[in-house]
Structure 1
Amino acid sequence: MKPKIRLIASAIVVYVISVLLKVSVDAKSPQLFLDWTVSFSKRAPLGIAKQVIVINDQFPGPLLNATTNDVVNVNVHNNLTEPFLITWNGVQMRRNSWQDGVQGTNCPIMPGKNWTYSFQLKDQIGSFFYYPSLLLQKAAGGYGAIRVNSRNVIAIPFPMPRKEFDILIGDWYNVDHQELRARLDSGSWLPLPDGILINGLGPNQASFNFEPGATYRLRISNVGLKTTLNFRIQDHLMQLVETEGSYTAQRYYNSLDIHVGQSYSVLVTANNDSDSMSYYMVASARCIPRELSGVAIIRYSGFEGEPLSPLPQGPLLFDYIYSAEQALSIRWNLEASGPRPNPQGSYHYGSIDINRTVVLSNGVGLVNGKIRYTVNGVSFHYPDTPLKLADYFQLEDVFEPGIIPNMPDFRFPSLGTSVIDVLYRDYVQVVFHNPMPFLQTWHTDGYNFFVVGMGFGMWDVSKMATYNMVDAISRSTVQVYPFSWTAILIMLDNQGMWNLRSQDAERSYLGQELYIRVKGIGQDDPSTISPRDEDPIPQNALTCGRAIFA
């Protein structure tokens, strides 16, 4: 069949299937319709004006507040002077990597154009966020909070709080993102950040009103470019209850290390007697050679006075042992129900046979005379056509699975379009190895995974005897400490082309990422995949590169 005829025939089939699917989904699931306009606005969070990306003139952008099984439709109007995409950090779109919002799955929304994301939230609750995925635009803002609430028929494992607050913390640079991008393109590293923002505001500008005796849920996300932050509240304990879609064992913490891309929910009770008080909320930099803090104020009953005591102290800047011990203390709540009525602990992940082990080692080197970051020696290079479209239309020479080895082989750094092929329902062990003196964070789109082990030094198979195979936390973003390893187990039950990336924006921009292609057995032609296994190509799919002529 000729390519043009094949494309028309495929489009007809896709249209019929998508209409049938839409009828069945609409009949059962609530629809959420949002209209977002993305534009530049001059703002000065730290006193120096720069171009900030705002959504509906808001920075941070609007809250995406949805419930398990909702169908989310977000019409994005790009009023920037640059191409734009939004990715939904931690949100699991069952069978629908078409809506992932990264360069390997979506063509960009060009300036002056609009495009509607449409995806269903499946079997998920929790705290997440969205952000721009192209051109280092995250350094200019464009991010916002996501809540996925439980259905009314599913009990949450703690008393209903008086109110919920979304708290977005992150490092901030006073120069425009174009200048930071040019710096990376020229072969230089990013400088240290200029400060820390809380909800897009500088020190002492954000405030939260508490009533004495009431309990509040704080959904906290580190939306910054590259800096780990320690979060704490003066004279208040935080009860950790959820992270990235998993209810946790409910332990109390004085402070929490929140790495780039991670999200946590804590309960905080206003338990001090006086209603004429205020307290500091602090997010301070960790693991960088500069003391930086973002500061907000909690006010009891709207009290206007300033806190009387100094800022609460956090851990030492480079105390990795403290951070690692805290990370290992965060456990899955086995008795709580997640998005479904059965307890989280009814899924015995530790009894599943592992099909495959992949060891991913991050590195840095010179490629064509410029600094590039690598995974197993390969620095990811994007072709002109998104991998998802190239796969669907079976375009040759766009990417070649297998160019990245399963284990580091100490090759010289080189450019490549790294894709790992796996079969649907493979249960894979991934070990992140960090041989460098800088902390790393890694994220998988489309999936949560079990963080079963962490340790200093080199990983080998003997370390599997130390794994937590009972109540390891399930999440989508994990840290790897300097000269250390982190092991995860992941059930690849979500077909599609999914991004695995460094959450450090500098490192991912310079090549520290790859894609996982999850395929069904015998499904070599993606255009013939059943909609029961993966959603069909969207009717409004944007095309670019070689896909325009497919």
Structure 2
Amino acid sequence: MSPPPAPAAAVALAACILAVTAATLAGADDPYRFFTWNVTYGTINPLGTTPQQGILINGQFPGPRIDCMTNDNLIVNVINNLDEPFLLTWNGIKQRKNSWQDGVLGTNCPIPPGSNYTYKFQSKDQIGSFFYFPSVALHRAAGGFGSFNVFQRPQIPVPYSPPAADFTLLVGDWYKSGHKQLRQSLDSGAGELLPPDALLINGVSSPAAAPAIFVGDQGKTYLFRVSNVGMKTSFNLRIQGHQMRLVEVEGTHPVQNLYDSIDVHVGQSVAFLVTLDQSPADYAVVASSRRFGISPAASSPALLTATATLRYTGGGAPANIPMPAPPPEGIDWSMNQARSFRWNLTASAARPNPQGSFHYGGIATSRTMVLESSAPAIAGQRRFAVNGVSFVVPDTPLKLVDNYNIANVIGWDSVPARPDGAAPRSGTPVVRLNLHEFVEVVFQSTESEIQSWHLDGYDFWVVGYGNGQWNESQRTTYNLVDAQARHTVQVYPNGWSAILVSLDNQGMWNLRSAHWDRQYLGQQLYMRVWTPQQSFSNEYSIPTNAILCGRAAGLGH
């Protein structure tokens, strides 16, 4: 399936920046796609009961869908008409050699109110379903997110027949409180956010709000792209009377197993095929929150449900079959499903070679990091930490600090490689790693809630999940042959998840909790992947349009 033509917006902008872009982006002959996005507040009514202030892009909630092709050059001019700084990040887009465009506070200064910033990057060597979202000030709780789909080049086959069409489902939790009120709650030291009020599918809940409707023809097969764009809630997705054939996990192709329902954790994306093999009618597409064994007591989070409709052409009446039941609430069902996601070794990647041509299981690791999450009180305030260090956002992005050799900002290697039992503390940690290292990272949880971890700039292989405390003997349980590659991994309550990652993308990269209250209150760090052999083949220079703030203000490019 080919993407639609490039948008016609921002023709004037294209003329003035094309020359600069061609000089700084690889693959200058690859097509360019230009977007101009106006970010504003606007009234939305996702719950169908009480209007709220939302963040709109070009008047849309959710924001516009980006469709492009592998290696396309994306020029996205973001105009901030909010009353506070704003920044977008591109969840799962690898930004090859270009962490300058990552869109997080460690790499970019936020866009001031009334100003703009033009992102310039490639969808380099990627195929799949991704999304974008605001990365500062809890704006994510008010909107500003949208889908980002990268289609294959004609010469690169995907391992399934072209679907009749594809549908996007942006699913996430939602709060009645505005993003400023939520931020004030966290800033006050109250700790994590309270449970959300609802789930949304494509910006609406049901039954109070009109649900999304996906229309298809009997006998045809459709691709569903599903992303968890929420703040902190995992969900399970299922379709009444239909099975789902998993065909993509965050830009890679898995073994195509059939599922009755699929868990999707915060920050994750999947895509599956559904064949319309039932009688013409309306079938429910159901997302429900996952609590993982928490008893349904009054103090426990409520079970949240959102429903959309899969409508057969000529249908319109509800299907006369039972509604799909949610899976068991315990951890075991979900963990076993996660282990069933396996890398398709024979499928092509974004390049002609098969995914499995890189035999990751035969590579010796250069170092191991065991990163344990915690929720300590520091200076009387509830924070979140990694190995006892709670990240504090500096006044100057770390990428600028490193570029201009600004002293006394970065805490180099200040996060220990393993928990050391030291007193909780605040800091601005950056772990120094060498380009082309092959690293084992274990995410350890000693807490009773599920967590989700994301690494910008990379995919990694999820080689193991387990309960309790990780130790070296657990390596015998690793999948070293066809573990699923992805960029966001869940960690089950009081459990661990292990990944292997090949550090082949130079830059300053954010490793963070995808639960946005935890990220906001310090559960993150940065990884500086570097080599002394400086070259544009490794990393691009600072963009000429980079916003300079904090201690870098006035230094020039």
TM range (shorter): over 0.9
2:316 corresponds, among 286, 304, 307, to 304
2:399 corresponding residue in structure 1: 388
- Partner of residue 41, structure 1: 42
The equivalent position to 2:415 in structure 1, one of 401, 404, 407, is 404
Q: Show CA shifts across 1:385-431 (max 9, x none).
A: 00000000000001121111000012221110011000000000000
Query: Which residue is 2:251 aligned to?
Result: 245
Shift of 1:218: 0.3
Q: Secondary structure at the match of 1:345?
A: helix
Please state how far the C-alpha of 1:306 moved relative to its aligned partner: 3.2
2:240 aligns with one of 224, 234, 238:
234
Q: Residue 305 of structure 2: which of 293, 303, 312 is its match? A: 293
Distance 1:493 1:338 in 2: 16
Q: Which of 125, 129, 138 is equivalent to 2:140?
A: 138
Q: 2:538 aligns with which of 515, 526, 533?
A: 533
Gap regions ≥5 residues in structure 1: 1-14, 524-528
Tell me the residue number matched to 1:29.
Answer: 30
For 1:419, the aligned partner's letter is: V
Aligned residue number for residue 548 of structure 2: 543
For residues 221 and 509 of structure 1, the distance between their equivalents in structure 2, rounded to whole angstroms, comes to 21
CA distance in 2, matches of 1:310, 1:157: 32
Q: Does 1:418 align with 2:429?
A: yes
2:194 aligns with 191
CA distance in 1 between partners of 2:22 and 2:259 (Å): 49
Return the alpha-carbon distance in structure 2 between the equivalents of residues 279 and 349 of structure 1.
42
Equivalents in 1 of 2:70, 2:212: separation in Å? 30
Correspondence for 1:215: 221
- Distance of 2:140 and 2:66 partners within structure 1: 18
Equivalent position amino acid for 2:288 in 1 = S
Q: Which residue of 2 aligns with 1:9?
A: none
Distance 1:321 1:397 in 2: 46
Alignment check: 8 A CA contact 2:411 2:427 kept? no
Structure 2 CA distance, aligned partners of 1:456 and 1:546? 44
CA distance in 1, matches of 2:22, 2:321: 62
Q: Residue 281 of structure 1 corresponds to which residue in structure 2?
A: 285
Whole-Å separation in 2 of the counterparts to 1:172 and 1:57: 19
Structure 1 357/24 Cα, relative in aligned 2: closer, same or farther at 3 Å?
closer
Supply the distance in 1 between the matched residues of 2:463 and 2:400 (Cα, whole angstroms).
Answer: 34
Does residue 256 (structure 1) correspond to residue 291 (structure 2)? The answer is no
Distance across 2 between alignment mates of 1:227 and 1:32: 33
> 444, 450, 455: which is aligned to 2:455?
444
When structure 1 is superposed on structure 2, of 294-303 and 450-459 the one drifting more is: 294-303
Q: Deviations over 1:361-407 (max 9, x none)?
A: 00011111110000000000011000000000000001121111000
> 1:178 aligns to what?
180
- Code of the residue aligned with 1:40 in structure 2: it is Y
1:367 to 2:378 alignment: yes
Is the contact made by 1:376 and 1:408 (CA closer than 8 Å) also made in structure 2?
yes
> Which residue, 489, 494, 497 being the options, matches 1:478?
489
Match of 2:70 among 68, 71, 79: 68
- Equivalent pair of 2:342/2:482 in contact (CA under 8 Å): yes
Offset from partner CA, 1:351-370 (integer Å, 9 cap, x none): 11100000000001111111
Q: Which residue of 1 aligns with 2:6?
A: none
Q: Which moved more, 1:391-400 or 1:298-307?
A: 298-307
Question: Which one of the candidate residues 492, 500, 509 is aligned to 2:520?
Answer: 509
Instruction: Specify whether residues 24 and 487 from structure 1 end up closer, same or farther in structure 2 by C-alpha distance, changes over 3 A only.
Output: closer
Cα distance in 2 for partners of 1:410, 1:232 equals 43
Unaligned runs of 5+ in 2: 1-16, 295-300
Offset at residue 42 of structure 1 (A): 1.1
Amino acid at match of 2:123: L
- Counterpart in 2 of 1:97? 99
Q: What residue in structure 1 maps to residue 10 of structure 2?
A: none
Q: Is the 8 A contact 2:431 2:526 kept in 1?
A: yes
Contact 1:210 1:302 survives alignment (8 Å): no
AA aligned opposite 1:195 = A
Tell me by how many angstroms 1:25 deviates.
Answer: 3.3
* 8 Å CA contact 1:456, 1:484 repeated in 2: yes
Amino acid at match of 1:364: A
Q: Which of 159, 168, 187 is the equivalent residue of 1:166? A: 168
Deviations 1:8-59 (A, max 9, x none): xxxxxxx9x9677348733x21111111111111111112221111111111
Name the structure 1 match of 2:123: 121
Cα distance between partner residues in 1 of 2:440 and 2:338: 19
Deviations 1:298-322 (A, max 9, x none): 1110523234445321113x31100
Mapped to 1, the partners of 2:54 and 2:42 lie a distance apart of 5
For residues 488-529 of structure 1, the C-alpha deviation after alignment (integer angstroms, 9 at most, x for no partner) is 000011001000000000100000000000010x36xxxxx3
Aligned position for 1:7: none
The one-letter amino acid paired with 1:458 is: Q
- Amino acid in structure 1 at the alignment position of 2:318: E
**Paired position in structure 2 for 1:53:** 55
Deviations 1:210-235 (A, max 9, x none): 21001000000000000000000000
User: What secondary structure sits across from 1:246 in the alignment?
Assistant: coil
The amino acid that maps onto 1:285 is S
Q: Greater shift after overlay, 185-194 or 159-168?
A: 185-194
**Shift in Å at residue 186 of structure 1?**
0.6
Report what 1:200 is aligned to: 203
Once the two structures are TM-superposed, the CA of residue 124 in structure 1 deviates from its matched residue by: 1.1
- 2:8 equivalent in structure 1: none
Q: Is the 8 A contact 2:168 2:224 kept in 1?
A: yes
Q: What does 1:334-349 align with in structure 2 at a 5 Å threshold?
A: 334-349=345-360
SS of 2:457's equivalent in the other structure is coil
What letter is aligned with 2:439?
Answer: V
Alpha-carbon RMSD across the aligned residues, in angstroms, is: 1.4
Distance 1:441 1:85 in 2: 22
Q: How many residues align?
A: 525
Letter in 2 for 1:37: N
